[in-house]
Chains A and B, each alone.
Chain A
């Protein structure tokens, strides 16, 4: 293998698995350390820069960081089952305990730059674009059909998961930057909007249409069958206050989980979730499924809906076919009937949460924006520009339903595109992130980070008592960590952003690092092709998603090979190294955001 080029920002970024997995690349270990230090406001601001909605995401994020967390790999055999750091919960702690941060927010632009941007939909994608561009002097107008900004974060996520005060606060920080919000105005025509002469238009209107289920009985029993996302919005607006005694929720995603838990709180005594495929394949996050089952909601899998049963316009139940999964020679799964008799589940009301799709009835097909055969806009994946270069898409409107953190990531990227485009630069050239790499050595045995690895297992977040929680739709269920538990959970973080950096010229090959490494990460061996090298290290490197860090040739012609897979970043290698060939250096990566730093030519500050 060639020596690893650690100047490539991606190399060390990949080692910080959580940050790499986060679509917005939030510097997770950095803010966790700040939480451990009791610097909650600082931790909040680190989050706010990346993901804009720390309080909202600390409650609702889909948490791609957690399955990636290295802690979930190294605890194997140490705890009952390996568990990642409760990253999302810690994010919430910073938001809950930060105090007043208004003074730390960017100021309104002193004067405008004369450019006008329209954002369609006031959800996380549009608000991120607005947040990035407004302080630069852009005049940003956000349009939404609802009276309040927040998009589906406000109307679709139930209040027992996300209190409205949190939304008001964090949406407010964005609007306070001098963003104009036009509520209660649905954009009906893209052409008309374009005619208003905006310099750029950002479409962040989400995927607002829930899929229906067109099977026998749908029309006849329509009064008792609701599309899940619409029903959740109706609950939010107070149009729906009650639900039938027996409720079926169809679908296996997070919307289905929100529907069933809401139904439980609105008087549903027997609420049941029914999914077509297997429990393990459900799209809902594992914790959402757990929470639903904790509230006494059974999840029945492998049942294909056949018909709505009804009597005199009244829904009486639903008929399902029992199926099982079979895998063909090509590995593709098909659901085949088990041969058991169809199952009739009696019910009074059905909530359909079987998916969402995009709909752009308001974009005229001759407006110059191309659509693919699934009805999604044709976009440049990096710049998010449509075939009209100054019309960009982001969030669910761009590539179909994802989640809030993806919407935020799209918002940042679109803002960079707009800023470059309107500065006369090519948006397809994406500026590199800002990276710093600084030694953490303070003295002979002192490091500026806490490298004493906590052996504790993941802490559980306290819940409101179930009887109480099920009585009120607006009572937040998760109570969040207190400061002391947050500190202990933060101690589980392995500081993966504090990197082991090796300088081959200083190494005397004394083996001290190999001997002390608790995880058998380090080997000194003859070089070879990667596949072969992986098999003959101190411990075989069996996780190909994690890199090998390879040095240049040493005096004995061998190379140092470090498997990044299970490194604890404890720094014992650097602590033991007599020559300083190993060092622990903090890697901090900030993604490029709109502003002077994203431009090639750097004009004088406005």
Chain B
């Protein structure tokens, strides 16, 4: 935890993005998490991603539940909309907000405690419905806020700081997301921003539910030998299937790869996800194959990272429900309450 405020002085060459903001304009308050917390790195990656995507800060709604991870939205995007919900209830509140105003970019921030335990039901239903959001799980495998008990994502057999081995089987949020049909599923590592920032950019740009599981070592309680969520373990067992570049809807800066080494995935909004394949056999558009791959490597103790699955033609909740394109807060009384005559007409149609 840091006591002094980050000085306002900045590098003289700090540049502005297309909407006129510097990266520093996307920062929030000074973090009160432990020094070295992986979550702070994820916050930094979110700041970088939003700046690079030229998203105006006030066009973002960030929602979270309870826990270390759910505190983090206070530490980035200080000029955006925010809502700290009840423990594990972030997805429902976000769903409501999204239905009311589809004009914002929705960022759900949660942790392994918030999503895989108390919020498990919320997690799966948000995916099942296809809520248009980037759902980031800051996954450290422990309850850091209550001094380091195993969380539901802790691997069986991994050892706590006190030396106790975990006897329960873990919940794999990526496996669940794939099974439930999430249309953008990725896993990153807070210690590798080169990989993480594009994954966040891709998730924010994806229309539909984008699940991003980020391994984020807890330096206070889960960064020791015997932990499977430590910096050392993840670095040693990382199996990155691809590297992602997100190219926005303007002329791409040409980076040539030999054919077969890169595939481009064009999304709804014209964004191009350019995947540089690290594993030649991995096809992220094939959901069933992805599930098999992830499960196989998980069984070997490897941490599969990268963009694991993407469906560029995804539909979202608004599409399923056929809602009006205009955010509700921009509709007038006449549209929202068309009157008795309109009701009469609807009723007549049902007779």
* B41 lies within 8 A of A510 (CB): yes
| Interface membership of B8, Cβ < 8 A | yes
User: A530 to B6, alpha carbons, bound, how many Å?
Assistant: 29
Q: Is A570 an interface residue (CB 8 A)?
A: yes
Given A511-B191, A512-B41, A75 and B9 touching (CB < 8 A)?
A: yes
Chain A CB within 8 A of B257 CB: no
Verify B219–A510 contact, CB threshold 8 A. Answer: yes
State which of A29-37, A140-148, A204-212, A449-457 sits at the interface with chain B: A449-457
- Whole-angstrom distance between the Cβ of A524 and the nearest chain B Cβ: 10
Contact B6–A539 (Cβ < 8 Å): no
> Does A74 make an interface contact (CB < 8 A)?
yes
Smallest CB-CB separation from A519: which chain B residue? B11
Task: Verify A576–B2 contact, CB threshold 8 A.
Answer: yes
Whether A518 contacts B9 by the Cβ 8 Å rule is: yes
Complex contact B231–A515 (CB within 8 A): no
**B274 adjacent to chain A (CB < 8 Å):** no
For window 532-547 of chain A, which residues contact chain B by CB distance below 8 Å? Answer: 539-540, 542
Within 8 Å by CB of B41, from A73, A78, A455, A511, lies: A511
Contact B35 A512 (CB under 8 A): yes
Asked if A566 CB lies within 8 Å of chain B CBs, one says yes
Specify which chain A residues have a CB less than 8 angstroms from the CB of B264 in the assembled complex: none
The 0/1 profile, CB within 8 Å of B marked 1, for residues 446-476 of chain A is 0000011101000000000000000000000
Distance, CA A575 to CA B41, complexed state (A): 15
Bound CA–CA A453/B5 (angstroms): 9
Near A by CB (< 8 A), chain B positions 1-55 give: 1-14, 24, 34-38, 40-41, 43-44
Across the A-B interface, how many residue pairs have beta carbons closer than 8 Å?
Answer: 101
Does the CB pair A508–B231 fall under 8 Å? yes
A79 to chain B, nearest CB (A): 10
Q: Flag whether A184 is at the interface (Cβ < 8 A).
A: no
Q: Within the assembled complex, what's the spacing in Å between the Cα atoms of A508 and B230? A: 10
CB distance from B68 to the nearest CB of A (A): 14
| Beta-carbon contacts under 8 Å, A473-522 to B | 508-512, 514-516, 518-521
Return the contact of A445 from the options B3, B5, B13 (Cβ within 8 A). Answer: B3
CB-based contact A555/B232 at 8 Å: yes
Residue of B7, B13, B36, B235 with highest tally of chain A CB at under 10 A: B7
Please tell me if the beta carbons of B43 and A74 are within 8 angstroms of each other in the complex: no
A446 to chain B, nearest CB (A): 9
Whether the pair A453, B7 counts as a contact (CB closer than 8 A) is yes
Q: Report if A568-B12 is in contact (Cβ < 8 Å); known contacts: A445-B1, A516-B2, A577-B35.
A: no
Tell me if B198 is interfacial: C-beta within 8 Å of chain A: no
Contact with A along B48-83 (1 / 0, CB 8 A): 000000000000000000000000000000000000
In the bound complex, what is the Cα–Cα distance between A515 and B2 (angstroms)? 13
- Chain A residues with CB under 8 A of B190: 510-511
Determine the distance from Cα of A572 to Cα of B37 in the docked complex, in whole angstroms.
14
B217 adjacent to chain A (CB < 8 Å) = yes
Interfacial chain A residues near B34, Cβ < 8 Å: 578
Q: With A77-B12, A512-B41, A515-B41 as given contacts, are A579 and B6 in contact (CB-CB < 8 Å)?
A: no
Q: Cβ of A556 < 8 Å from any Cβ of B?
A: yes
B-facing residues in A541-582 (Cβ within 8 Å): 542, 555-556, 566, 568, 570, 572, 575-579
Q: Is A343 an interface residue (CB 8 A)?
A: no
List residues 219-237 of chain B with CB under 8 A from any CB of chain A: 219, 223, 231-232, 235
Give the residues in chain A near B232, CB-CB below 8 Å. Answer: 508, 555
Q: Which of B7, B13, B14, B191 is the one whose CB lies under 8 Å from A568?
A: B7
Q: How far is the CB of A64 from chain B (nearest CB, A)?
A: 22
Closest to B44 in A: A515
Q: Is A429 an interface residue when CB atoms closer than 8 A count as contact?
A: no
CB–CB B4/A451 < 8 A? yes
B193 within 8 A of A: yes
- A291 on the B face (CB < 8 A): no
- Tally of chain B residues near chain A (CB < 8 A): 33
- Report B-chain residues with C-beta under 8 Å of the C-beta of A290: none
Q: Say yes or no: B11 contacts A539, CB within 8 Å.
A: yes
Contact A575 to B35, CB < 8 A, known contacts A510-B217, A511-B190: yes
B38 contacts A568, C-beta separation under 8 Å: no
Q: Are A453 and B9 in touch, CB under 8 angstroms?
A: yes
Roughly how many angstroms separate A520 CA and B12 CA in the complex, as a whole number?
10
> Which of A511, A539, A575 meets B2, CB within 8 Å?
A575
A518-B40 in contact (CB<8A): no
If A509-B191, A511-B193, A512-B35 touch, whether A572 touches B2 (CB-CB below 8 Å) is: yes
When chains A and B are docked, how far (Å) is the Cα of A577 from the Cα of B1? Answer: 10
Of all chain A residues, which has the CB nearest B38?
A510
Q: Is the CB of B191 within 8 A of A555?
A: no
Chain B residues with CB under 8 A of A510: 36, 38, 41, 190-191, 217, 219, 231
The answer to whether B5 and A74 touch across the interface, beta carbons within 8 angstroms, is: no
Q: Chain B contacts of A519 at CB under 8 A?
A: 9-11
Residues of A215-248 whose CB lies within 8 A of B? none
Distance between A540 CB and nearest chain B CB, rounded to angstroms: 7
Report the Cα distance A520→B34, complex, angstroms. Answer: 21
Q: Is the CB of B36 within 8 A of A576?
A: yes
Question: CB-CB < 8 A to B217: which residues of A?
Answer: 510
Q: Is the CB of A509 within 8 A of B12?
A: no
Q: Are B36 and A512 in contact (CB under 8 A)?
A: yes
Q: Does A566 contact B36, Cβ atoms closer than 8 Å?
A: no
- B38: A residues at CB distance < 8 A: 510
| Chain B residues whose CB sits within 8 angstroms of the CB of A518 once the complex forms | 6-10, 24
Contact B40 A515 (CB under 8 A): yes
Per a CB cutoff under 8 Å, which of A74, A451, A542, A578 touches B35? A578
Is A76 an interface residue, CB under 8 A from the partner? yes
Interface residues of A in 58-100 (CB under 8 A from B): 73-78
Q: Please, which residue of chain B has its CB at the minimum distance from the CB of A73?
A: B12
Q: Which of A455, A512, A514 contacts B8 (CB 8 A)?
A: A455
> Are A576 and B35 closer than 8 Å at their CB atoms?
yes
B45 shortest CB reach to chain A, Å: 9
C-alpha gap A81/B217 in the complex (Å): 43
Find out whether the CB atom of A570 lies under 8 angstroms from the CB atom of B4: yes
Whole-angstrom CA separation of A570 from B3 in the bound complex: 12
Q: Are B11 and A520 in contact (CB under 8 A)?
A: yes
User: Residue-by-residue, is B205-220 near A (CB-CB < 8 Å gives 1, otherwise 0)?
Assistant: 0000000000001010
The residue in chain B whose Cβ has the minimal distance to the Cβ of A539 is: B11
A54 to chain B, nearest CB (A): 29
Q: Given the complex of chains A and B, what is the CA–CA distance between A578 and B24 in angstroms?
A: 23
Q: Is the CB of B13 within 8 A of A540?
A: yes
B219 A575 Cβ-Cβ under 8 A? no
Partner of A452, one of B4, B41, B235: B4
Give the chain B neighbours of A540 by CB distance below 8 A: 13
In the bound complex, do residue A516 and residue B8 qualify as a contact, i.e. CB atoms below 8 Å apart? Answer: no
Min Cβ gap B7→A in Å is 4
Q: How far is the CA of A453 from the CA of B4 in the complex (A)?
A: 9
Query: In chain A, what residue has the closest Cβ to B75?
Result: A515
- The residue on B at minimum CB distance from A446 is B3
Known contacts A512-B35, A578-B34; A566/B11 CB under 8 A: yes
A276 to B33, CA, bound (A): 63
Shortest CB distance A573–B (Å): 10
Q: Can you report 5 residue pairs joining A to B where beta carbons are below 8 Å apart?
A: A452-B5, A512-B41, A518-B7, A520-B11, A572-B2
Contacts A542-B13, A577-B35 given; 13 further ones with Cβ under 8 A? Answer: A73-B12, A77-B12, A445-B3, A452-B5, A455-B9, A511-B190, A511-B191, A512-B36, A516-B6, A555-B235, A570-B4, A575-B3, A575-B35
Which 8 pairs show the lowest CB-CB distances between chains A and B?
A578-B36, A453-B7, A76-B12, A515-B44, A578-B219, A512-B36, A511-B41, A539-B11
Residues in chain A within 8 A of chain B (CB atoms):
73-78, 445, 451-453, 455, 508-512, 514-516, 518-521, 539-540, 542, 555-556, 566, 568, 570, 572, 575-579
